[in-house]
Amino acid sequence: MKVIGLTGGVGAGKSLVLSILKTKFNAIVIESDKVAHELMMQGEEGYFRLIEVMGEVILDSDDMIDRAALGKMIFKEKSARELVNSLIHPLVWKRIGEKISASQAGLIVVEFAIMGEEAKDLFDEIWYVRAKEEVRIRRLSQYRGYTKERSEEIIKSQASEQEYAGLCDQIIENNGSVMDLENQLGEILKSRGLKTI
């Protein structure tokens, strides 16, 4: 089993890389955001911890966590964001570790935006999806309807290219076609001795 951590900034094309790895190379994909959402479901540990610290104001009329309301709170208030992250991130990495342990797959790819120290031991390698800023801005406009200003603001708020690259074992360039990307991923996997379909 090979476990790859996959990261990259907004608009770099992580979703496309995940889709190719899943459909063309038979990878099991785990998305950290989706795991965080699971942990906020009623009855989960994250659900109870968040209510404990944020109060019942984050619940909707069905007693579910209102993620839009929570999102507004944590984006306005840095200390609230840090508190929520400090509660949820360790739970996310613990759950991801459990998912990896329970799997029999030959290739598991875990997508994440922010990595805590506790996550490093989960991966054999970390890959960074990189794209030029103008390509990222174009994608964010095309697929999410973001203005150039909004895209630039989000890009600036994330880790820099140097920070990402310093953390990673492999850089995936994603400025060209889907075929270019598929070929690049196939070559990388082949160089690691992994079967490609």
Q: Which stretch of DSSP H or E encloses residue 34?
A: helix 32-39
Residue ranges of the binding site: 11-16
**pLDDT tens, position by position, 177-189:** 999 999 999 999 9
Q: What is the mean pLDDT of residues 150-167?
A: 86
pTM for this model (two decimals): 0.88
**Ordered domains of the chain (ranges, CATH):** 1-27+106-189 (3.40.50.300), 34-104 (no CATH)
The pLDDT score that the predictor gives to residue 118 is 65
Residue 182 falls in which region: left (phi positive, over 0), alpha (psi -120 to 50) or beta: alpha
Residue ranges of the binding site for ATP: 11-16
What's the distance, Cα to Cα, between the start and end of the chain in Å?
A: 16
